[in-house]
Structure 1
Amino acid sequence: MGKQTIRQEARRAALDAQSKRREERAERERRVEALAIKVLVAIREREAADRRAGEALTEMIETERLSAREAVQWCGDEVSTREVARLRRVAADAADQAAQEDDGAGADTGADAPTSAAS
């Protein structure tokens, strides 16, 4: 076997190995990406569930005039009073954020009104 043939075979083997490693890395990246999406979806679903639970607890406490301890009892001791406070904070924060977003949209609409009236 000549030197040139040996070099060509060596290059081909190296390129094949590199190609295989690239394919393996790409496949791993696809798997990691899919797992990251699962994590983020689960977190968003949990956040939404926490918000809904907090809204219900807030209604129990404020509208139905229950204490946090009574709300815990009504929930079959599935939550603690500490968890009740956390969930209510989550709901309040979500409501505050929604109100700020509504205020921002209203401010944009208000800013547009004088301009169109002046035209």
Structure 2
Amino acid sequence: MWRSVVQKQARRQEARLRARQARAKVREEQSEKEWRLSRWGAAVVAALAERDAAVAECEQQAGRALRSLIVEGGLKTQEALAWCGDETLTGREVHRLIRGVVDAADRDHLNQGEHRGSGDAG
């Protein structure tokens, strides 16, 4: 009888050990999966940030060119649209792109304002 109790305890200990090992394996696999998912998520966010920066730069270029057509070329919005291809843009987009243009002088002015503002806050 004593022997069967000891054997029963040994089997239980072995079963608990196997269960702990199985849980550890599952946790490790989950950790690896989360790491992979995290890396892929970060890659998506980085790619979208690059895309957004490229779009912003292209819109700046388009806005500057449109402004040149209208201001320097003396064209009206509809005439500028004709030069760009009527189906390429709408008048609303032309105005949005022109309003969004930030030139080097504008950037310098904005940066100076930011630097002044940070000193005044103290």
Whether TM exceeds 0.5 here: the answer is yes
Measured against aligned partners, the alpha-carbon deviations of 1:31-90 in whole angstroms (never above 9, x if no partner) come to 010011111110110011001100000011101101111000000111111110000011
Counterpart of 2:54 in structure 1 is 45
Computed over aligned residues only, the root mean square deviation of the Cα atoms, in angstroms, reads 1.8
1:56 to 54, 61, 65: 65
Deviation beyond 4 Å, 4+ runs, structure 1: 104-107
Aligned to 1:117: none
Q: TM-score, normalised by structure 2?
A: 0.78
| 1:1-119 paired onto structure 2 within 5 Å | 2-77=11-86, 78-91=88-101, 94-95=102-103, 96-101=106-111, 103=112
Structure 2: gaps of 5 or more residues: 1-9, 117-122
Q: Report how many residues are paired.
A: 104
In 2 relative to 1, CA 5–82 (structure 1 residues): closer, same or farther, beyond 3 Å?
Answer: same
Q: What code does the residue aligned with 1:16 have?
A: K
SS at match of 1:24: helix
Amino acid at match of 1:73: A
Q: Distance in 1 between matches of 2:73 and 2:107?
A: 25
Helix, strand or coil at the partner of 1:66: coil
Unaligned residue ranges in structure 1 (runs of 5+): 108-119
What amino acid does structure 1 have at the position aligned with 2:31?
R
Q: Percent identity at matched positions?
A: 27
With normalisation by structure 1, the TM-score equals 0.80
- How far apart in 2 are the matches of 1:26 and 1:71? 51
CA distance 1:105–1:21, shift in 2 (3 Å)? closer
The residue identity in structure 2 corresponding to 1:85 is H
Post-superposition Cα deviations, 1:3-47, rounded to whole Å, max 9, x if no partner, equal 111111000000000110110011000001001111111011001
